[in-house]
Amino acid sequence: MIDTAVSGKVAELSACLDGLLEADLTALSSVEVAGLLSALEVQRRRLDAVDVAVVAEVGARVWPGSTRAAPRWTC
């Protein structure tokens, strides 16, 4: 189970994505579509940063049944 504050943020993100999937893109001009693509790419990269933070937190945790912390990955 996820903390309610965090799960609320994930629910908001899901709702926003649903809204974008339902949007009528044909109503946008070519410039607006290009701007949307650019804006989505920025958000996609930000989501990658969230993934990195969550994976790092997973790696820092001690998991039930283990005798040591989960491995820490380094580059």
pLDDT of residue 63: 75
State the sign of the Cα–Cα–Cα–Cα dihedral 8, 9, 11, 12. positive
DSSP 25: G
Instruction: Name the band, by pLDDT with cuts 50, 70 and 90, for residue 1.
Output: low
- List the chain domain ranges: 4-60
Looking at the predicted structure, is the pLDDT value of residue 3 above 90? no
3-class DSSP assignment, residue 27: helix
Record the pTM. 0.70
**What are the distances in angstroms from CA 66 to CA 34, 71, 73?**
49, 11, 17
Q: Report in angstroms the alpha-carbon separations of 46 from 24, 43, 49.
A: 25, 5, 5
**pLDDT for 37-64, tens place per residue?**
999 999 999 999 999 999 999 888 877 7
Mean pLDDT of 16-38: 97
pLDDT at residue 53, rounded to an integer: 95
